Structure formats: C-alpha cells, structure tokens
Amino acid sequence: MTIQNIKLTSLAHGGGCGCKLAPSVLQQLLAGQAAAGPYARLLVGVETGDDAAVWQLDDHNCIIATTDFFMPIVDDPHDFGRIAATNAISDIYAMGGQPIMALAILGIPLDKLPLETVRAILAGGASVCAAAGIPVAGGHSIDTPEPIYGLAVIGTCRKENLRRNADAKPGDAIILTKPLGVGIYSAALKKGMLSGDGYAEMVATTTLLNRIGTKLAEDETVHAITDVTGFGLTGHALELARGSNLSIDIHADNLPLLRDAVSFAQQGIVTGASGRNWASFGDSVELPAGFANWQRDLLTDPQTSGGLLVSCAAERADAILQTITQAGCPAARKIGHAQAGPPMIRVVA
C-alpha cells in the first residue's frame, strides 16, 4: 500500500469517540481536580463531567469553551474532518450555547500521509464550521505517530439559557435526538462489512449538527441537556443521573437505532470501547432478566458525534419532540424518564 492510497483507519489503533479513556480511568485521573481558588464566575468545571466549561462574563452572558479531537473513524479524509468538527461543536450546543469560533487541532504522521490528504481533512472540518456559521480562526499542529484531528470551540449563551447535565428533575421525560449504533458501524467498516448505504447512513448522522440544543435551551421546561458520545447511551445517561441525583429508566424498545445496528451487534461486531464502558459503570445499570449481551452492547456502544440527551417536563415532551424532529432530527424519540431514587440507570424491556 503506497502513501497515496493508505487507509486512514489503518494508521490508528482506535477511531472516533471510541478512543476516549474508559470512564473508570477518567474518574481516577480527575479525582481531586476541582478548580481551586476564588473562581465564582466558573459556572461549570470538571465536577459533573459536563460537556464544556462555562465562565460568567457579566450578569447576563457566559462564554463556553470546549475541545474534542480523535483518530479517524472513516478512511475518507474529507468525511473524517467533517465528523470530527461536528462532534467538537456539539459540546457548545449541548450546553445551550451558540458557537462563535473554532481553533483546529491537528496531529499528522508526515511520513505516512500526503499533504493533499491532510488538506482534505482540514477542508472537511472547515466546511462544517462554515455550516455552523463560525470561522476556523487558527489552531496548532504537530507531527504524531497516528492521525488526529479536532477543534477547540468557543461559544456564548445567556446565563438563563445555560443547560447542564446536572439539572434534570424527577418526572422528566428523556429524549434522544439521534440513532445509536455509530460505534458498531465503525467496527463493521473496519471489517469491510459495511455497505455503501450503511456508510452514507453513518456519515449523515455523524455530520448532523446538534444546533437544536441552542433552541431547546430557550425553553424553561427543558431542564438538562448532554450529548451522547464515547461512553455510550448508558454512560452519558448515568452522568446525568449522578449529576442530578436521581434514577433514569430507559425503555429499550423505544431506542432509535441505525438500520443494521441490531444485525451487526448480534454477530458480535462491536468496538472494544463498548466492553470497557460496561466494565466501568455496569454496576450502576440494572438490566432486565434475559437481556442479551448484544442488546447491552447497543447501550454501551460509543457514539461519535451522537445525539443530544434531553431531560424535559413530561407534559411538554410531545411538543418538544415535535420541535426536534421538525428541526431535522427525524430519528428523535422519547426513550425514558427520570425519577427520584439513587443515581443509576434502570433498563426496561
């Protein structure tokens, strides 16, 4: 294989948000890392594992800062750039904010990739930033053993529109805005088992901007928002449960899924991150009797550029779901509800 036609995914030991450190490892690393000092304007830091940091500028306005980058989940460099940029910008939308600027993060094995491939990655990311209405205002690049691309993104929001993952309320309905199965599809792609239609389906969902988060945050009956990425649905739902000090029931039959996700999962085509996720937080997830391993794998499947997990007043759930679907998220579904109880996830068949 020459430098001109080498597959991006062959240069990386993992891909997309499946590259994230396991939740258990991350918890150990961040233990005791809460910001010290007189930082009264730091409204969101590392305490709740939220999607971005938030600093209060004045009585009404906040600035949101985040960064996200990973190794290739696909071989097409332009698609890789688009997916990575969409994923990074999502953190701003998940906080209820509006992105205003991005900086590129680039690591490239210069002896393995031609410059035109690198330019295509950057162009893909820039195209998504243009669609989001923000410039790529700079960045940083280094020579690395594996290809890495992502963004640091800055956004703003009104203080009253800030949405954390720690403010869900008992009785809330839980809505998921995108289908699950991206990690499973990426595993199928590496095995040469993903069809052209399946690839198009994966790229379509991973490049769909979560801009609906900005609009949802203007609704006071939307209490909490987070996005579903590398820790899978149950991992990020558990962060919401722990941050809000409540239990969340997930109705397995209501989950939106990519078309072939079940078939692949039943064949054992999953990522290593799925098992690492379960090992990290499985003791806080209650599964129904007879729940198959492949069903569990759907719940722990790492989502690259996944959907938003929205906690809202139950009486407003249907109207909010309609708003989400009309905004271009046809797979959105009500998947469960929150209730008083110990922080955990209960899966209902």
Active site residues: 17
Q: Are 168 and 338 in contact (CB under 8 A)?
A: yes
Residues 331, 334, 338, 343: is their CA dihedral positive or negative?
A: negative
Residue 324 sits at the vertex; the CA angle it makes with 323 and 328, to the nearest 5 degrees, is 115
Instruction: Report CA-CA distances (Å) from 107 to 15, 187, 259, 274.
Output: 14, 23, 33, 26
- Distance, in Å, from the CA atom of 62 to the CA atom of 155, rounded to the nearest integer, reads 8
Sheet holding 98-108: strands in order across? Answer: 42-44, 53-56, 61-70, 148-158, 98-108, 136-143
Crossing angle for the helix pair 115-132 and 77-94, to the nearest 10 degrees: 30
